[in-house]
Amino acid sequence: MESGKPVGNTNPRLEFTKAMFRKYYSKANVQPPGKLINREFGVITERGGMWRHLGFGTPDELQNFLKKQAPIHAYHSSAYYTKPNARTMDEKTWLGADLIFDLDADHIQGSENMTIEMMFEKVKVQFKKLVHSYLLDDFGFDENDVKIVFSGGRGYHAHVSNEKVLRLNSHERREIVDYITKPSTNIDTLVRKVIFSNERFKDHDNKKYIYRLYPRDTPGWRGKVTASVLDFIDRTEKMPKENVIDELESHRGIGDTLALKIYNSMYLGKPGDRGIDKMRSDLNLEPFGEDSVRNSFINHIVKEMTVDLGGETDEPVTSDIKRLIRLPGSVHGKTGLVVRTMTVEELNGFLPLRDSVWPGFEKSTVKLMGLEDYEVKLKNTVFKVKKDTETEVPEYAALFLLGQKKCDIRI
């Protein structure tokens, strides 16, 4: 088997996957994306390669296509076109595009050392921040305009289809990404600069300023700065000094001298009279003394409020106005999990490995051979795989373990 060409019917792994996907698409009712006739679709079947430029006139056409082809991966365009099935962009004629946000575990720091459950939890925290703090609060979208989707793979997508965003070009979308990922570095826009005294001295003004945080509920970045400082204080107050210093130094750009200065301005003195007490009680930033210490601290701590959309390393999905995105209601070929749409409320209690399993994959079992030692909890059941040992699991677990290349099918 190993030396044969891994094509078509000769590969039992692909054959099994194909059978499962056929079963799914023969039963499942895939809710088409809005403005179906203007969307381009693309699929990857077991034969490999992306099959693009597909267009469907009715939900039934889409459903029948999926039933017939049973693709392993299915996508639709975030964009709307006059002729979505035309082969060139010019002929397609771009009409607009949803605003898409893609949060993937790849963007989470240290995700390579996490279990899949921990990783999903971390992504969810970040994604909820994106939805609540940015999409709903700052950008003011209505909950009905924001479609939340579990990608079936390693993260979540948000599709914003508010009329006002559809015509935004790539550059304008990039500004939205920058808003979320890169707070201003100009301290005067982040904190309040108040004239403290204005003594005239020999014909020129001698102004003195004091700096204060804006109230926590101030809109936009100003409130976020305050939240990040107060959260830092809450988090570090009970910590030993070394840990606080360590945490400060974990920010690139804060060295040991600066970390110590920040620590001292916040924690020296008796309780009630320390820097943090003044910051808490009247949002005063004067305890920092030197401007440079205050500014460095603010500029670093505020980064905790950003959401990493992967913009530094690869092109962010958000600024791409012609991207194909996972079709909600399809099954992800590498996990066997359903790409699921949910409300903001449902997101709170959502666990991908428990809630995105299709019940139709629960009834029968399959025999697999372990390729490495591995353990995963799916649908409230823990599955343990041992290398070179046979195991029998339900179909949903088989799809997941095969997709993740932890097992193979032996005949």
Whole-angstrom Cα distance, residue 242 to residue 253? 18
> Torsion over CA of 130, 73, 119 and 109, rounded to 10 degrees?
-70
Stretch that binds another protein, among 16-24, 313-321, 355-363, 376-384 (CB under 8 A): 313-321
Stretch that binds another protein, among 21-29, 233-241, 309-317, 371-379 (CB under 8 A): 309-317
Q: Out of 90, 203, 205, 314, pick the active-site residue.
A: 314
Binding residues for another protein, rule CB under 8 A, total 31
Contact call for residue 219 and another protein (CB under 8 A)? yes
Whole-angstrom Cα distance, residue 324 to residue 41? 8
CB atoms within 10 A of CB 386: 13
Name the residue nearer to another protein (CB basis): 311 or 333: 311
Q: Are 354 and 53 in contact (CB under 8 A)?
A: no
Whole-angstrom Cα distance, residue 261 to residue 66? 62
For the segment 122-151, give every residue that binds another protein (CB under 8 A).
137-141
| CB of residue 320 to another protein, shortest distance in Å | 8
For the segment 29-58, give every residue that binds another protein (CB under 8 A).
none
Q: Are 355 and 156 in contact (CB under 8 A)?
A: no
**104 in active site:** yes
| CB of residue 6 to another protein, shortest distance in Å | 25
Using the structure block, give the residue that is written with the tokens 């179909």: 395
**102 in active site:** yes
Name the residue nearer to another protein (CB basis): 261 or 323: 323
**142 in active site:** no
For the segment 147-206, give every residue that binds another protein (CB under 8 A).
164-165, 168-172, 174-176, 178-179, 182-184, 186, 189
CB atoms within 10 A of CB 394: 19
Name the residue nearer to another protein (CB basis): 175 or 390: 175
Whole-angstrom Cα distance, residue 80 to residue 401? 36
162-175 b/e with 16+ CB inside 10 Å = b? Answer: beebbebeeeebbe
**What residues are labeled active site?**
102, 104, 314
Residues that bind another protein (CB under 8 A): 137-141, 164-165, 168-172, 174-176, 178-179, 182-184, 186, 189, 218-222, 314-316, 319
